[in-house]
Amino acid sequence: SSLAAELPPPYTAIASPDASGVPVINCRVCQSLINLDGKLHQHVVKCTVCNEATPIKNPPSGKKYVRCQCNCLLICKDTSRKIGCPRPNCRRIITLGPVMLIPEEQPAQPALPVQPDGTRVVCGHCGNTFLWMELRFNTLAKCPHCKKISSVGSALPRRRCCAYITIGMICIFIGVGLTVGTQDFARRFHATYVSWAVAYLLGLICLIRACYWGAIKVSYPEHSFA
């Protein structure tokens, strides 16, 4: 189906140029450094970490760069109003109206020391560092390197785990109370067994969710720039 253009994940150059004098840029998706040695004649370069393309020159005449929400870099005509993402797992139809919601990609410049509005976070799964643009912790983040979900800070999973354990135990106690208190009634009205099953089932689901939040990986911020 045709979708209105959406903003791609935020990106900001975050590293300094290579001290050895080798030209480098930051990947426009995952912020990793890309070595430009021997590649300055190309229009785009490919990141070895996330495998996404980053432009380093203006597009050919009559063309423009547009980045899909899935981070695929597209090259289309200046006059294009709709383009399709070629990736099999995306296939979005991106509408490029008079008001562009997806900004056109500009060639990346050699990275300069820029202070981003965000926090560098160490992934709890793979140990790589990525830029977290939220200004608050206690949220879930998806690492651009390993694509896994983790909690930024330990307060959120600890709070959710305690809440689910409490609710789960209350449901189980209610189920036990109903079982003990309504045994004679249940022999005459078998529908009473349904209330027992619902109470135990809710308790079990809450305890399973508590185990999920208790086992979720935690990513910790290095330091805050904001």
Closest C-alpha to 83, from 99, 98, 67: 67
Q: Are 83 and 66 contacting, i.e. CB atoms less than 8 angstroms apart? A: yes
- Residue 226: what pLDDT? 39
User: Does 76 participate in catalysis according to the annotation?
Assistant: yes
SS3 144: coil
Cβ neighbour number for residue 185 with a 10 Å cutoff? 10
Closest C-alpha to 157, from 211, 218, 221, 213: 213
- Residue 100: what pLDDT? 43
What is the separation of C-alpha 137 from the centre of its chain, rounded to a whole number of angstroms?
Answer: 14
How far, CA to CA in Å, does 48 sit from each of 29, 59, 174, 190? 12, 22, 56, 64
Q: Are 43 and 52 contacting, i.e. CB atoms less than 8 angstroms apart? A: no
Global pTM? 0.44
Beta-carbon contacts of 150 under 8 Å, excluding residues fewer than 6 positions away, are 123, 124, 125, 140, 141, 143, 216, 217, 218, 219
With a cut of 70, list the residues of the chain below it in pLDDT. Answer: 1-21, 97-118, 134-138, 223-226
Identify the helix (H) or strand (E) that includes residue 132. Answer: strand 129-132
- Residue 106: what pLDDT? 57
- Residue 201: what pLDDT? 93
Beta-carbon contacts of 54 under 8 Å, excluding residues fewer than 6 positions away, are 25, 27, 28, 29, 34, 44, 45, 46, 47, 73, 108
Tokens 């900001």 belong to 12
List pLDDT tens digits, range 181-213: 888 877 788 788 888 889 999 999 999 999 999
| Active-site option among 76, 85, 123, 161 | 76
SS3 172: helix
- Residue 24: what pLDDT? 83
- Residue 98: what pLDDT? 54
Closest C-alpha to 222, from 152, 155, 147: 152
